[in-house]
Amino acid sequence: MAKETTTHSSVVPLPADRLYTHCDPALLGFETTEELETTDVVIGQNRALAALDFGVRVANRGYNLFVLGQPGSQRHRIVEEFLNSRSTGAEAPFDWCYLNNFDDDRKPIAIRLPAGRGLKLRDDLARLVDDLRGAIPSVFESEQHGSGIAEINEEFEDKVRASLEELQQKANESELSLVSTPHGFAIAPTSKGKLISDEDFERLPEDEKQRRKEAMEKMSEEMRRHIEQLPRWQKERRDKIRALHRELVGFAVDQLIDQVREGYGDFPRLIDYFGKLREDVIQNAQMFQDDGDGAPVAPGPAGASALSRYKVNLLVDHSGDERAPVIYENNPSIANLLGRVEHVAQFGALITNFTMILPGALHKANGGFLILDADRVLREPLAWSALKRALAGGEIKIESMGQLMSLVSTVSLEPEPIPSRLKVILIGERWVYYLLSAYDPEFSELFKVAADFEDRIDRSEENVGQYAQLLSSIARAEGLLPLTRAAVARTIEHGARILGDAEKLTTLLRDVADVVREANFWAGQESARTIDASHIEQAIDAQIQRLSRIRSEMQEEIRRSTVLIDTDGTEVAQINGLSVLQIGSFRFGKPSRITASVRVGDGTIVDIERETELGGPIHSKGVLILSSYLRSRYATDIPLSVSASLVFEQSYGGVEGDSASIAETCALLSAIAELPIRQSLAVTGSVNQRGTAQVIGGVNEKIEGFFDICKQRGLTGDQGVLIPKDNVQHLMLRRDVIEAVENGQFHVYPIASVDQAIELLTGVPAGALDEAGRFPPGSVNERVDTRLRLLAETRRQFERTDKEKEARGD
């Protein structure tokens, strides 16, 4: 039964049906979600979708996108689905290959080919190498090659022999002996074919000795000329052998290479490549010799075949793709974005080649779309700079972090940069977007399109229907039980409660979907075939139960009077304020005692929270506003001569926000007017300089927070909460609160002003100014005005006495 409450206020407590906006299951038009079709509908994001559409269609450089929105708002799903729909039917982008650069193998060349042709090129070159491994050894084993080499060698040996014979002949004619030594040749004078002894030589006539010495000199000179010719002859021999190889190998490989080249006549860079490949094959023909086991004789790096230089590194393969790529990179490190060059250790050194170039997300998405999480890119060292460089420069250049920071001196590759033509879609929270806009000048140049996702949508009939369809799709996609329409209705109500707004629905479907998943669990525990409203309720209650330990502890402290909160009786200058605490994802309301004290002073109102640096700037602003309200409302013709202080009792943490400013104003008025305040009521709401009550956040949690304390102590029917009237639209209160209101055990008062609040709290009319500028006698305002004048007079007398004492020289 409703209990009569004693008030002198015109404010009527809200009826129960204003405390919760139900979703009528009968309006949903289905029994269970099984009847609904799967849909990928996007609810209420028309602004963001239009921005996406614009950003995707504008081809100019810099028109990349930043998607703003809160986590859990399905941004990734919506963006991916949108891009997939746009990429379908679009032409597949080019394949990209890296090939060895025969002029400088540290700088591999990048080749662009139509989709699918890269794979063909790779196969063609693999087949070519196989064919060359058959053809080239055959050349070396051929009779033509053997006889050619023998002929060249014999020609060389003939030259050497002929030269030696000539020398021998000259030596004989000059009566000299010529013999080989381990390191060259030796000559000595002879006579009749025998060496002349030193003694015999000394006995020769002087002119003969001189002639012999000159002959020796001449012979030495001849020998030196012969020796000097040897390197030239050897070089000639090598050149001839090389020329023979070129002729024979060239003949053998030309036909094979031409067969491959024919298929790529319309790619000038490939034609050039094939020309250089031919030269390289001829130069290094010995690499194609087998060791007998089929393996090439010449080893390559890391044990790989030296023939790998003729491979194709198919960096990006779009064979079979019929649309532009949509790539999401969830680990956007610099290597994962730009690609990287791998190394292998060989004999203690790190080595690499062009086949060890790996693609990055930019390569894979080139010609399409790349989705990245903004905060992850920013957290990865150097990744943000690298991404901007790639977008600004229009090319993807593989750079390692070690190289960029000059930490690595290992010889690596400098692959030719690949031109980029893609859209990057960054997804992030709003503050990231705003920070980048403010502090990174390049950001605005590169991400010109912002797609701002709504956090809330109207709770319209159409949106409710689409919400139901989405819940159906989630249930079906995740293999959950179908939801009854009552369950859907309860879930939609929960979607409104999450926002704290009865007229809106949250777009943060992650939280809503979590409730459905957990409800599915509870339904499964009961072997139910559908998820009903009771399961949704159970899931919500269980979530709260799991997270509400601290709330329980705080309520227990109030119950045990460790924290002092009165819920009955009256007190002067003491009021119940309400605050909201958020711990993790759980928010709950908590009553706080606010007290005020006054005395004669200079008009200063001390905010103790601020003085102790526990109050935040918004709270301080609220206190200053109420000070201003006081000055402008009462005894405006005399100086304000009161000194007051306000404090949140037993508050040991920070206080922020202005939602207690009505409560603080009322506590101050109570203190000045010396009128007691009902402790069965709690107040929330902010006030402006005119005394108007303004909307605050967390109204549902605040009401429930005071209700829980009252309920623990026993509902008296006198208890309730004062809220700004504009907060009524946000009410989505708990069922037990509504039941208490229905039974007249608890009340929610919508107030428009401080006057309405103080009337309810004191039971005394607030009083309006009459034409003469006076408040009605006995009203709250009249008492406040009178007391302030009294305090002013007290102060004036005090000051006069002081001056008189001063004049007397006391």
Partner 1 sequence: MATEPGKPSLVVVALDAAERGEHVIELARALARSDTPEVLGVFVESSELLAHAGSRLAREILLSGAERALEHARLERQLRSQAARARAAFEAVSARLGLRHRFEITRGDLLSESVKRAGTAEVLVVSLAQAVAGRASSTALLRELAAPSPPLVVLARHGWSPGQSVAVLFDEASSVNEAALLAAARVAIHGRSPLTALVPVSGDADANEVLERVAAKLAAFGVPVPHVIQLERADAAAIGRASRACHARLLVLPSSGDNMGPASEVDELMQRFPGALMLVRR
Q: Which two tokens stand for residue 675?
A: 């009128």
CB nearer to partner 1: pick between 205 and 584: 205
CB nearer to partner 1: pick between 172 and 330: 172
In whole angstroms, give the CA distance from residue 723 to residue 576. Answer: 12
Q: How far is CA 512 from CA 168, 475, 506, 607, 730, in A?
A: 107, 12, 8, 41, 18
**Helix%, strand%, coil% for the chain, nearest 5:** 50, 20, 30
Q: Among the options 645, 659, 661, 753, which is catalytic?
A: 659
Interaction of residue 196 with partner 1, rule CB under 8 A: yes
- Tokens 């009161």, residue? 642
- Asked if residue 647 lies in contact with residue 608, where contact means CB atoms within 8 angstroms, the answer is yes
Interaction of residue 406 with partner 1, rule CB under 8 A: no
- By CB under 8 A, which span of 174-182, 271-279, 307-315, 471-479 interacts with partner 1? 174-182
**How far is CA 564 from its chain centroid?**
46
In whole angstroms, give the CA distance from residue 684 to residue 676. Answer: 18
| 787: helix, strand or coil | helix
Task: Please list, in sequence order, all residues whose beta carbon lies within 8 angstroms of the beta carbon of residue 395, skipping any fewer than 6 positions away.
Answer: 417, 418, 419, 420
Reading phi first (left if > 0) and then psi (alpha if -120 to 50, else beta), residue 223 is in alpha
Interaction of residue 152 with partner 1, rule CB under 8 A: no
Residue 137 CB, nearest approach to partner 1 (Å): 14
Interaction of residue 198 with partner 1, rule CB under 8 A: yes
Interaction of residue 289 with partner 1, rule CB under 8 A: no
In whole angstroms, give the CA distance from residue 329 to residue 332. Answer: 6
Interaction of residue 181 with partner 1, rule CB under 8 A: yes
Q: Which two tokens stand for residue 73?
A: 């708002």
CB nearer to partner 1: pick between 44 and 189: 189
- By CB under 8 A, which span of 178-186, 447-455, 482-490, 580-588 interacts with partner 1? 178-186
CB nearer to partner 1: pick between 127 and 224: 224
Residue 189 CB, nearest approach to partner 1 (Å): 6
Interaction of residue 195 with partner 1, rule CB under 8 A: yes
Give the Cα-Cα-Cα angle 146, 148, 154 (nearest 5 degrees).
Answer: 100
Interaction of residue 168 with partner 1, rule CB under 8 A: yes
CB nearer to partner 1: pick between 185 and 521: 185
Contact pattern for partner 1 over residues 224 through 263, marking x by CB under 8 A: x--xx-x---------------------------------
Contact pattern for partner 1 over residues 654 through 683, marking x by CB under 8 A: ------------------------------
**Catalytic: 388?**
no
Interaction of residue 201 with partner 1, rule CB under 8 A: yes
Q: Looking at residue 415, what DSSP letter applies?
A: P
**Catalytic: 702?**
yes
CB nearer to partner 1: pick between 143 and 613: 143
| 287: helix, strand or coil | helix
CB nearer to partner 1: pick between 88 and 220: 220
* Residues touching partner 1, count (CB under 8 A): 39
Among 150, 243, 349, 438, binds partner 1 (CB under 8 A): 150
The alpha-carbon radius of gyration of the chain (Å, integer) is 47
**How far is CA 591 from its chain centroid?**
39
- Asked if residue 352 lies in contact with residue 341, where contact means CB atoms within 8 angstroms, the answer is yes
- By CB under 8 A, which span of 64-72, 102-110, 212-220, 652-660 interacts with partner 1? 212-220
- Phi and psi (nearest 5°) for 163? -65, -40
Task: Please list, in sequence order, all residues whose beta carbon lies within 8 angstroms of the beta carbon of residue 797, skipping any fewer than 6 positions away.
Answer: none
Residue 346 CB, nearest approach to partner 1 (Å): 29
Residue 233 CB, nearest approach to partner 1 (Å): 13
Residue 153 CB, nearest approach to partner 1 (Å): 7
| 589: helix, strand or coil | strand
Q: What is the DSSP string of 326-391?
A: EEEESS--HHHHH-EE--EEETTEEE--GGGEE--HHHHHTTSEEEEEHHHHHHSTTHHHHHHHHH
Interaction of residue 409 with partner 1, rule CB under 8 A: no
Residue 183 CB, nearest approach to partner 1 (Å): 5
Residue 256 CB, nearest approach to partner 1 (Å): 27
Among 161, 546, 800, 805, binds partner 1 (CB under 8 A): 161
Among 54, 140, 185, 233, binds partner 1 (CB under 8 A): 185
- By CB under 8 A, which span of 217-225, 637-645, 686-694, 797-805 interacts with partner 1? 217-225
Interaction of residue 54 with partner 1, rule CB under 8 A: no
Among 138, 191, 197, 650, binds partner 1 (CB under 8 A): 197
- Phi and psi (nearest 5°) for 209? -60, -45
Interaction of residue 527 with partner 1, rule CB under 8 A: no
H/E/C letters for each residue in 119-176?
A: HHHHHHHHHHHHHHHHHHHHHHHCHHHHHHHHHHHHHHHHHHHHHHHHHHHHHHHCCE
- Tokens 């919508």, residue? 750
Contact pattern for partner 1 over residues 92 through 131, marking x by CB under 8 A: ----------------------------------------
Interaction of residue 320 with partner 1, rule CB under 8 A: no
In whole angstroms, give the CA distance from residue 115 to residue 156. Answer: 55
Among 89, 182, 303, 773, binds partner 1 (CB under 8 A): 182
Q: How far is CA 439 from CA 430, 443, 481, in A?
A: 14, 9, 49
Residue 205 CB, nearest approach to partner 1 (Å): 16
Interaction of residue 294 with partner 1, rule CB under 8 A: no
Sign for the CA dihedral angle at 552, 72, 457, 490 comes to negative
Interaction of residue 405 with partner 1, rule CB under 8 A: no
Interaction of residue 187 with partner 1, rule CB under 8 A: yes
In whole angstroms, give the CA distance from residue 477 to residue 40. Answer: 11
CB nearer to partner 1: pick between 60 and 180: 180
Among 165, 290, 793, 804, binds partner 1 (CB under 8 A): 165
In whole angstroms, give the CA distance from residue 275 to residue 790. Answer: 107
CB nearer to partner 1: pick between 128 and 178: 178
CB nearer to partner 1: pick between 190 and 643: 190
**How many other CB atoms are there within 10 angstroms of residue 293's CB atom?**
5
In whole angstroms, give the CA distance from residue 720 to residue 745. Answer: 9
Interaction of residue 215 with partner 1, rule CB under 8 A: no
For the chain, the first-to-last Cα distance in angstroms comes to 70
- By CB under 8 A, which span of 144-152, 275-283, 349-357, 790-798 interacts with partner 1? 144-152
Interaction of residue 140 with partner 1, rule CB under 8 A: no
- Tokens 């009521």, residue? 681
- By CB under 8 A, which span of 146-154, 388-396, 514-522, 639-647 interacts with partner 1? 146-154
Interaction of residue 768 with partner 1, rule CB under 8 A: no
Residue 167 CB, nearest approach to partner 1 (Å): 9
Q: Is 226 exposed, middle or buried (0-12, 13-18, 19+ CB in 10 A)?
A: middle
Interaction of residue 582 with partner 1, rule CB under 8 A: no
| 648: helix, strand or coil | strand
- By CB under 8 A, which span of 165-173, 464-472, 577-585, 628-636 interacts with partner 1? 165-173
- Asked if residue 78 lies in contact with residue 42, where contact means CB atoms within 8 angstroms, the answer is yes
Q: Which two tokens stand for residue 118?
A: 């890269």
Q: Which two tokens stand for residue 367?
A: 């010609």
CB nearer to partner 1: pick between 193 and 773: 193
Q: Among the options 702, 725, 753, 779, which is catalytic?
A: 702
- Residues serving a catalytic function are 659, 702
Instruction: Give the footprint of partner 1 on this chain (CB under 8 A).
Output: 143, 146-147, 150-151, 153-154, 157, 161, 164-165, 168, 172, 177-189, 195-198, 201, 212, 216, 220, 223-224, 227-228, 230
